Structure 1
Amino acid sequence: MLERLQRLLGLQTIPGVFFTSAGIAVLFVAVAVPYDKEVSGTFGILTGWVAANLGWFYILSVTSLLLFLLALAVSRYGTIRLGSDDSRPDYSNLTWFTMLFAAGIGTILMFWGVAEPVSHFANPPFEGVRPGSDQAASDAMTVALYHFGLHTWTIFAMPGLAIGYFAYRHNLPMRISSLFYPILGERAFGPWGWAVDVIAVLGTLFGVATSLGLGTLQLNSGLSYLFGIPSTGWVQVLLIAIIASIAATSVALGLDKGVRRLSQLNIVLAILLILFVVAVGPTVFIAEGMVQSVGDYFDALPWLAFWTETFRESDWQRQWTLFYWAWTISWAPYVGIFIARISRGRTIREFVAGVLFAPTAFTLVWFGVFGLSAIHVEMDGQIALAAQVQQDPSVAIFAFLEAFPLADAASLLSVIIIIIFFTTSSDSASLVIDMLTRRDDQPSLTRQRIFWAAAQGVIAATLLLAGGLDALQNVITSLGLPFCVLLIFMAVALFRALRADYQGYSVSELVQGRAFPEVEAVATPKKESQNV
């Protein structure tokens, strides 16, 4: 029946994945629009249960994956390429980095670059720390870097590495289900694999929708600041519709013409904004604070990575850390596939070093400039920044820029950056979802990619109307859990395949049980690698 429907609509998909994912998304919107309060309340209850009972699982999983990736990079497997042994990268390091950043957390940094450090400065997460104190400032920067540094990029790097490895080295389809071939065998291409891909599609849809929702809130605040446009739900829906239309145009152009050019443009604009704040802001304070913040971050990382608020009755970690991890995990399939697609030819060591440390370095600079400057503004009493952020975090960067000359021009530049980040997130996610819902031998139809771009916008609008920021946080914290489990299995499958590859066995030999005979315990390759 689904195949008949596909032919009727003129689509090129895996019907079980496409129509199941689309059907669940449509059902969610159909229920959430008339019953917004009930849906929001249900996810609030579910989020509370997840935070109370499984928060430790999120914390332990992400930290364990970080250690796994670092160990993999320095191990004997680090020299294995994502592709044949003689393959080389498709993109230069600079182009690769700009695409990583724009498709990853550009929108998030624009929203939280000022809002999070100021929030923690005014309301310290640790007991015994006085709000507004020097220790509160130091802790605020440390926690912000923890949330957006190595741990965030671990969540993106894990699926990206696994997908790139199986796709380019073993010629498996570039879908999440392919990563489970060493575990499921041929069942990875049937209903079991389809179920995995449906989870990945839904996680991507809701994860990117959450990012679009946050971006819309911030964009509305910027337009309200610049032009007096009211901050209302229907204005936000209109903004989503406009941006979705821009994203649909970009996604129709494809990866190289659309996403790459927008990514390169936006990284230049983001650097201009950074240079502006450094030039007109507390330059020496930024430089000193950045050096200290890097030290504080790496000093606190070993214990902070395992901190679970065990001895404290607080909702802080649910609102911040668990939300970030679940949010990042939910759209990790999209970012992972996107990163894999632009990373062919790199060694595992190059991939891990680039994906973990290059964007983290930029994140350190971003928070060093915006976070430290915002804390300086608050400490000097130039404007009541903390009060405005606590009332509405979406106004943070615009309220912050009021403390500097050329505030209107800087705010307008910020709005442009938000729009482009908005667009690159949506169009690259649409390309990836289309890849997840069709076979490699099927053409990528423009109307399918546009459908997924529209779906992201509709879900984002629905979540905003259902409860704004709280609804975004509750839905994504709940939905991130299934894919967190998949990430663990993904690491296991990748390690098994790498071990077989290093010893000269193909993935198919691994599945058939012909790899790793008990009498052989080799530490060097036996024969040349071969594809499936």
Structure 2
Amino acid sequence: MSSLKHWVFWPPFLFVLIASLISFTSKDTFTTITTGANDWVITNLGWLFSVAGLFMVMVCVGVYFSKLGKVRIGGENAKPLLSFRNWFAITLTTTIAAGITFWGIAEPIYHLVQPPESMRLEPNSPSAAIFSMSTMYLHWTITPYAIYCIPALMFAFAYYNMKKPFSIGSSLAPLFGDKIHGKWGKALDAVCLYTLALGMAAAMGTSILNLSGGMNYLFGLESSPTIWAVIAFVIMFTFIISASSGLMKGIRILSDINLKLFIFIILFIFLVGPTAYILNLGTESLGNYFTNFFDKSLFTGAAAGDPWPQWWTTFYWANWFSWAAITSLFLGRIAYGHTVRAFIMVNFVLPAIFGGIWMTIFGGTSINMQMTEGTLGETLTNSGPEAVVYSVLATIPLAEIIIPLYLFIVFIAFVTAADSTVAAMGGISSTGITPESPEPGILIKIIWGVTISLVAWVMISFAQIDGIKMLSNLGGVPAVLLSIGTIIALIKVAKSPEKYDKTTQTHKEEGKRKAG
């Protein structure tokens, strides 16, 4: 703890603890405050999340074809820290992979049985099915990964090529210069620590509910705060152990296992599920998604007073922005030695394709079951989304093998994501983090791991899915403002990368010395 950045660590840490304490001592007060704040955010700032997300997509495409795309992160002579396969596996499993295992099956049923009122779609109709699947593409493919890709790319360039400190403020250096590393930089890091603590707690809450549903199916253990506490402890213990082992050990091994299991279960469900229906619905819905991409991306529901976008699309964008702020430090750190175009391919293009495949297969399977049997909507209402997941998996051949395997995938997916995030949180809370010494101390990782686990348990115990959404929305507000600054900074760099790239300047100076 001697290397702790006190002004970065203590404000968000104490704020999170105080919020948890209030929730224990005065549940009604806590609920009133968080609900009021959340309602204000989604009513007044939902449009900002939508616009920022769309701009992220456009900037990703623009930077890929710009001259910045040819630049190598770390300089012309930088050798990759990770192989392409390991890099992709880690990137995939440390971003939204934990979320797709839960929402990929449960979310389509929400949209199928409760489509937006303003669209006048009949529940459980063919039009609602297409809307449901195309919405899954919106929420889990292009835009989410663009939200991760832009800040991570800007940080990677700033950290390795501009030689800036291991700080979120480094991503804004093209706009504010070294002034960003003073008091404002510390404040920015502290705010982003707070947003990520909320975003990560929301994601952990989702994983706890997912695992709880599986435990209920396999062993008849009803979901309860006690069961959630046990699951939270096991998850926390595992990802702290993994995070303590360092990047090249725990997370590298876990992500490789996870990728193989992902591929296996995708192929298995595709082959034994309603294959023809999956392909046909996926094709039709993909066309609908691309045709209405801008309409769906900017749908706020304000004109008709429809709250649906606020509780779904705004929730997701806020969640991604919350995570992206600090996860960018980790994603940027592991990109050393690869070009910017390769970075965009691994952090944007390929994961978006993977997300689309996953949603087509798992979402298509659950939609088909609801359309043919009509039972999942009732399960959702009576038992919650976690029960929907395992009701669908129970119909798959060899379910007695597939469900335990799926539980293991859910567990490993979140542990991997939490591993990288806790490492980034520890790094930004500590001094002395450099490319040569990238790992923070074990104690700071443990502190953040325990804190986030506590907040996750508190929120799902009191508000379950609604609590998870409130956490994400509140954490996303400062993060989206940071992301807008990051977009502007990256555009500025893309116009003339040689102006900011110190590795290029150093290379030229060495060439002159050798020539002389």
Deviations 1:109-136 (A, max 9, x none): 0110011112111122252322112111
Q: Specify whether residues 26 and 505 from structure 1 end up closer, same or farther in structure 2 by C-alpha distance, changes over 3 A only.
A: closer
CA contact (8 A) 1:501 1:529 kept: no
**Aligned residue for 2:56?**
65
Q: CA deviation at 1:494?
A: 2.6
- 1: CA distance between counterparts of 2:18 and 2:252? 34
Q: TM-score, normalised by structure 2?
A: 0.93
Out of 233, 245, 250, the residue aligned to residue 241 of structure 1 is 233
CA contact (8 A) 1:426 1:456 kept: no
CA contact (8 A) 1:40 1:471 kept: no
**Aligned residue for 1:169?**
161
Q: Specify whether residues 507 and 305 from structure 1 end up closer, same or farther in structure 2 by C-alpha distance, changes over 3 A only.
A: farther
**Aligned residue for 1:455?**
451
CA contact (8 A) 1:430 1:452 kept: yes
Number of aligned residues: 504
- 2: CA distance between counterparts of 1:485 and 1:296? 31
- 1: CA distance between counterparts of 2:15 and 2:268? 45
**Aligned residue for 2:135?**
143
- 2: CA distance between counterparts of 1:408 and 1:319? 34
Out of 14, 26, 35, the residue aligned to residue 23 of structure 1 is 14
Residue 301 of structure 2 aligns to a residue in which SS? coil
1:105 aligns with 2:96: yes
1:471 aligns with 2:477: no
- 2: CA distance between counterparts of 1:527 and 1:215? 46
Q: CA deviation at 1:37?
A: 2.6
Letter of the 2:477 counterpart: L
Letter of the 2:49 counterpart: Y
**Aligned residue for 2:311?**
319
**Aligned residue for 2:484?**
488
1:352 aligns with 2:344: yes
- 2: CA distance between counterparts of 1:424 and 1:527? 37
Q: CA deviation at 1:246?
A: 1.0
**Aligned residue for 2:388?**
396
CA contact (8 A) 1:29 1:459 kept: yes
Residue 13 of structure 1 aligns to a residue in which SS? coil
- 2: CA distance between counterparts of 1:245 and 1:210? 18
Q: TM-score, normalised by structure 1?
A: 0.90
Letter of the 1:353 counterpart: M
1:48 aligns with 2:39: yes
Give the unaligned 5+ runs of structure 1.
1-9, 509-524
- 1: CA distance between counterparts of 2:401 and 2:472? 34
CA contact (8 A) 1:11 1:445 kept: no
- 2: CA distance between counterparts of 1:156 and 1:412? 30
- 1: CA distance between counterparts of 2:92 and 2:360? 17
1:81 aligns with 2:77: no
Out of 244, 259, 280, the residue aligned to residue 251 of structure 2 is 259
CA contact (8 A) 1:248 1:453 kept: yes
Give the unaligned 5+ runs of structure 2.
511-516
Out of 501, 519, 522, the residue aligned to residue 497 of structure 2 is 501
Describe how 1:272-311 pairs up with structure 2 within 5 A.
Answer: 272-311=264-303
Q: CA deviation at 1:369?
A: 0.6
- 2: CA distance between counterparts of 1:21 and 1:146? 32
Deviations 1:481-529 (A, max 9, x none): 1110010111222333444533x45579xxxxxxxxxxxxxxxx99977
**Aligned residue for 1:445?**
441
Residue 293 of structure 1 aligns to a residue in which SS? helix
Deviations 1:456-493 (A, max 9, x none): 11111121233222112113212211110010111222
CA contact (8 A) 2:325 2:483 kept: no
**Once the two structures are aligned, what percentage of the paired residues are identical?**
26
CA contact (8 A) 2:59 2:491 kept: no
- 1: CA distance between counterparts of 2:505 and 2:466? 55
- 2: CA distance between counterparts of 1:435 and 1:73? 29
1:123 aligns with 2:119: no
Q: CA deviation at 1:418?
A: 1.1
CA-based RMSD of the aligned residues comes to: 2.2
Q: CA deviation at 1:437?
A: 1.1
Q: CA deviation at 1:417?
A: 0.9
- 1: CA distance between counterparts of 2:280 and 2:149? 31
Letter of the 1:467 counterpart: A
CA contact (8 A) 1:259 1:427 kept: yes
CA contact (8 A) 1:142 1:300 kept: no
